[in-house]
């Protein structure tokens, strides 16, 4: 019943958007185009359900278990290296999309040749993505299940690929494993996931490796840790313990008992329930809000037009003169504001200085923590020593830099907001002034425009630690062990690891600095766009109304009356459509 109601709401929404688009096309092609774009998004219903996590967590196996068939290649080593998008189609089809713009249709057995690190190392074949069309009921309704490369392996390009896809995710399945419940690097990755995904499903895989008591402890640890480490309210955290491998075996062999034991069905049902209910309603409400904003602008323009049509020729000429003078004043204000925009770049100097001070202050503490970690590992063999010191480097660098990064972000944001507050106020007022002036000229009600955000929160920062060392430190330790006595080998490993610590600490500080500067650039571009484009676009619309009104003076009174009647009818229809769209938001 609920599904039927949702489909009815969607059909009703599409009918309303179509009616609005046809109405707007008679007097505003740009607003009609915006409306058509909204309709296209509703029709496509594309919803990216992205599976993410560190390498060797079993993402591909989990996707296979959800789909009920062994389509993605799996292995015990870091494997997936290319984003793979799976969506519904009546017949199976696999397409490889290359960076150069070409594509190739391949059989299922050819997938490993393109998406695995072993057969396509460092993406030597220049694959952009792989698209799999599959006749699976799970994928109906516009759902796109996305398999991403694991993060945190020695293949840094895989980590980059996964992070770049995060902004495209609508909901995320974040995969953890019972044998490694929750690491520092996973917490950092989750921070980035949280910034982009509206919904996160936490899945604990490989629970078949634990006893019942161990499983309960692992679940309790994760559920307790997440709200402390991340901005996840306790009520949003639901952890699904599963065995993807067992679930896939049960599905392929048609052993319902085995499949039920895997707990995959519980996760699958929750995902389907979310996709059936929340996805559709979210899409409908978003589309309705966007169309109502378009209606508000269109209604204002029509009211201006109706007033202009009823003005005398002398009054219109007077208003043209006044608006031209206003336009010149706006242009001067735009130039003045444009000169002020670049004052915000002074913050870059502050960031540069703060980075140097932080590094100088923190280096002794970083070195001390490393010495303590090395002391704790003094009884380990050389292979274990490398692994333990690598973990120590990641922990020391991320924790030290994190503390400064969040403090610096608050400082930069405060400085930026204060520095451009006057600039922002002038720009926002200027946009208001355009409509306020036109509304005052024609004595109609003015609806205040929306404010624009200041410093952008759209960070692209993530840690890249020990991910591009060639040869890896593990391989280096093997070479040392074979040639040198243990005590000498340990000294060399210690020295090499300490050098790497300093390199990584310096590099991550530089990446934080770069992220802040990029965000300042984005913020400046955003303000500049409002200044140069938005203001001018609205001025042009109002000018056109006045010019059209002047042209109406050459028409007969009956023609003018007919035109006024037509626009009054459009205004009435817009009001009726606005109330119907408002109902869809409830």
The CATH number assigned to the domain holding 105 equals 3.40.50.300
- The answer to whether 341 and 349 have CB atoms below 8 angstroms apart is no
If asked whether residues 320 and 204 sit together in one domain, one would say no
- The answer to whether 66 and 271 have CB atoms below 8 angstroms apart is yes
pLDDT of residue 10: 85
Residue 125 placed within a domain: yes
If asked whether residues 220 and 328 sit together in one domain, one would say no
Say how many domains are in the chain: 2
pLDDT of residue 50: 82
Residue 568 placed within a domain: no
pLDDT of residue 531: 61
Instruction: Determine the Cα–Cα distance for residues 82 and 106; give it in Å rounded to an integer.
Output: 15
pLDDT of residue 119: 80
If asked whether residues 244 and 377 sit together in one domain, one would say no
Residue 407 placed within a domain: yes
CA distances from 6 to 70, 317, 319 (A): 33, 53, 49
In DSSP terms, 52 is beta-bridged to 174
If asked whether residues 212 and 343 sit together in one domain, one would say no
pLDDT of residue 105: 94
If asked whether residues 338 and 253 sit together in one domain, one would say no
Reported as a single tens digit per residue, the pLDDT across 212-226 is 888 888 888 877 877
pLDDT of residue 474: 46
Torsion over CA: 516, 517, 518, 522 (sign): positive
Residue ending a domain, choose from 225, 242, 262: 262
pLDDT of residue 159: 44
pLDDT of residue 424: 57
If asked whether residues 320 and 254 sit together in one domain, one would say no
What is the tally of helices (H) and strands (E) in the chain?
18, 9
Reported as a single tens digit per residue, the pLDDT across 229-269 is 666 666 777 888 889 899 889 988 888 889 888 989 888 88
Residue ending a domain, choose from 231, 262, 293: 262
Residue 215 placed within a domain: yes
pLDDT of residue 571: 92
Residue 362 placed within a domain: yes
Residue 26 placed within a domain: no
If asked whether residues 354 and 489 sit together in one domain, one would say yes
Q: What is the pTM (predicted TM-score) of this model?
A: 0.48
pLDDT of residue 219: 81
- The answer to whether 473 and 498 have CB atoms below 8 angstroms apart is no
pLDDT of residue 193: 64
If asked whether residues 340 and 204 sit together in one domain, one would say no
Residue 280 placed within a domain: no
If asked whether residues 228 and 366 sit together in one domain, one would say no
pLDDT of residue 355: 92
171-177, strands of its sheet edge to edge:
103-106, 93-98, 127-134, 84-88, 143-147, 47-53, 171-177, 199-205, 239-241
User: Which residues in the chain show pLDDT less than 50?
Assistant: 1, 76-78, 152-160, 448-477
pLDDT of residue 576: 94
Residue 542 placed within a domain: yes
If asked whether residues 407 and 549 sit together in one domain, one would say yes
Torsion over CA: 502, 506, 509, 514 (sign): negative
If asked whether residues 256 and 343 sit together in one domain, one would say no
pLDDT of residue 360: 93
Instruction: Determine the Cα–Cα distance for residues 224 and 227; give it in Å rounded to an integer.
Output: 7
pLDDT of residue 43: 83
If asked whether residues 339 and 253 sit together in one domain, one would say no
Domain that holds residue 536: 313-554
């Amino acid at each position: 019943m609920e599904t039927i109601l949702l489909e009815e709401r969607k059909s009703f929404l599409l009918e309303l958007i179509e009616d609005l688009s046809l109405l707007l096309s008679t007097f505003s092609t740009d607003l009609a185009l915006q409306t058509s774009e909204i309709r296209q998004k509703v029709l496509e219903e594309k919803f990216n359900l992205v599976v993410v996590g560190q390498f060797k967590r079993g993402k591909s196996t989990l996707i296979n278990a959800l789909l009920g068939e062994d389509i993605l290649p799996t292995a015990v080593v870091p494997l997936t290296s290319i984003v793979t998008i799976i969506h519904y189609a009546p017949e199976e089809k696999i397409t490889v999309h290359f960076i150069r713009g070409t594509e190739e249709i391949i059989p299922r057995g050819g997938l490993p040749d393109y998406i695995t690190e072993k057969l396509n190392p460092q993406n030597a074949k220049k694959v952009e993505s792989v698209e799999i069309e599959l006749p699976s009921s799970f994928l109906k309704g516009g759902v796109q299940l996305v398999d991403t490369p694991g993060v945190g392996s020695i293949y840094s390009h895989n980590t980059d690929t996964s992070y770049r896809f995060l902004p495209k995710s609508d909901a995320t399945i974040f995969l953890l494993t019972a044998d490694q419940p929750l690491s520092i690097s996973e917490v950092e990755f989750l921070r980035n996931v949280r910034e982009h995904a509206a919904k996160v499903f936490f899945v604990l895989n490989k629970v078949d490796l634990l006893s019942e008591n161990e499983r309960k402890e692992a679940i309790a640890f994760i559920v307790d840790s997440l709200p402390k480490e991340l901005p996840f309210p306790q009520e949003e955290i639901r952890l699904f313990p599963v065995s993807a491998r067992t679930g896939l075996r049960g599905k392929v062999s048609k052993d319902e008992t085995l499949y039920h034991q895997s707990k995959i069905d519980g996760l699958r049902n929750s995902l389907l329930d979310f996709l059936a209910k929340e996805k559709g309603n979210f899409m409908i409400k978003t589309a309705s809000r966007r169309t109502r904003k378009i209606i508000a602008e269109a209604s204002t323009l029509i009211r201006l037009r109706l007033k202009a049509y009823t003005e005398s020729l002398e009054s219109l000429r007077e208003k043209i003169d006044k608006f031209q003078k206003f336009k010149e004043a706006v242009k001067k204000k735009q130039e003045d504001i444009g000169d002020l925009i670049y004052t915000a770049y002074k913050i870059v100097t502050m960031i540069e200085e703060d980075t140097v001070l932080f590094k100088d202050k923190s280096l002794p503490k970083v070195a001390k923590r490393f010495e303590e970690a090395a002391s704790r590992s003094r009884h380990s063999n050389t292979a274990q020593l490398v692994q333990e010191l690598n973990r120590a480097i990641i922990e020391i660098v991320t924790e030290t830099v994190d503390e400064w990064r969040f403090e610096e972000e608050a400082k930069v944001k405060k400085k930026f907001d204060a520095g451009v507050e006057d600039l922002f106020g002038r720009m926002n007022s200027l946009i208001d002034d355009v409509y306020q002036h036109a509304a005052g000229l024609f004595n109609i009600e003015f609806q205040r425009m929306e404010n624009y955000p200041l410093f952008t929160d759209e960070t692209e920062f993530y840690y890249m630690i020990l991910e591009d060392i060639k040869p890896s430190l593990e391989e280096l330790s093997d070479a040392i062990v074979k040639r040198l006595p243990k005590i000498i080998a340990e000294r060399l490993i210690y020295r090499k690891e300490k050098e790497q610590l300093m390199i990584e600490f310096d590099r991550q500080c530089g990446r934080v600095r770069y992220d802040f500067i990029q965000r300042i650039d984005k913020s400046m571009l955003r303000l500049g766009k409002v200044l140069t484009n938005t203001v001018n676009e609205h001025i042009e619309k109002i000018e056109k109304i006045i010019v059209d009104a002047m042209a109406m003076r050459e028409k007969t009174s009956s023609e003018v009356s007919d035109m006024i009647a037509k626009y009054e009818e459009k205004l009435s229809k817009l009001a009726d459509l606005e109330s119907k769209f408002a109902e869809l938001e409830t």
